[in-house]
C-alpha cells in the first residue's frame, strides 16, 4: 500500500490507513473504520470521547481498563494526556 492510498488517519495513534470512498458510502462498512484503524483503538476513542463530553472520570477509567493500551507510547500526544488524566486517581 503506497502512502498515496492512505486517506484516513487513526484518531488515536495517527497511523494512516485506507478507506476507499465508494466503500465508505456503503452501509456494510463498519462505522469505526472511519475513525480508527483497529477495533481496539475505537474502544479507546469511545472512552475518551465520552469522558470529554460528559462521562465522569471513574466510568471513563473503567472503560479504558477494558481496552488494550499496549501501544500507548505511539498514541497522539493529546490522546496520551487525556488517558493519563483519566488514569490518575486525583
| Residue 41: exposure state from Cβ atoms within 10 A (0-12, 13-18, ≥19) | buried
**3-class SS at 8?**
strand
The verdict on 37 binding Zn ion (CB under 5 A) reads yes
Q: Which of 21, 20, 16 is nearest to 3 (CA)?
A: 16
Given the rule CB under 5 A, which of 5-13, 21-29, 49-57, 80-88 is the region that contacts Zn ion? 5-13
The verdict on 12 binding Zn ion (CB under 5 A) reads yes
Pattern 40-69, binding to Zn ion, x per CB under 5 A? Answer: -x----------------------------
C-alpha cell at 74: 505511539
Binding site for Zn ion (CB under 5 A): 10, 12-13, 36-37, 41
Amino acid at each position: 500500500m503506497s502512502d498515496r492510498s492512505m486517506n484516513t488517519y487513526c484518531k488515536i495513534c495517527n497511523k494512516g490507513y485506507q478507506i476507499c470512498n465508494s466503500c465508505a458510502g456503503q452501509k456494510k462498512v463498519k462505522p469505526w473504520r472511519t475513525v480508527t484503524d483497529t477495533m481496539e483503538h475505537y474502544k479507546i476513542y469511545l472512552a475518551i470521547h465520552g469522558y470529554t463530553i460528559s462521562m465522569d472520570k471513574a466510568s471513563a477509567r473503567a472503560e479504558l481498563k477494558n481496552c488494550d493500551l499496549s501501544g500507548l507510547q505511539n498514541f497522539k500526544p493529546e490522546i496520551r494526556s487525556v488517558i493519563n488524566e483519566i488514569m490518575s486517581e486525583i
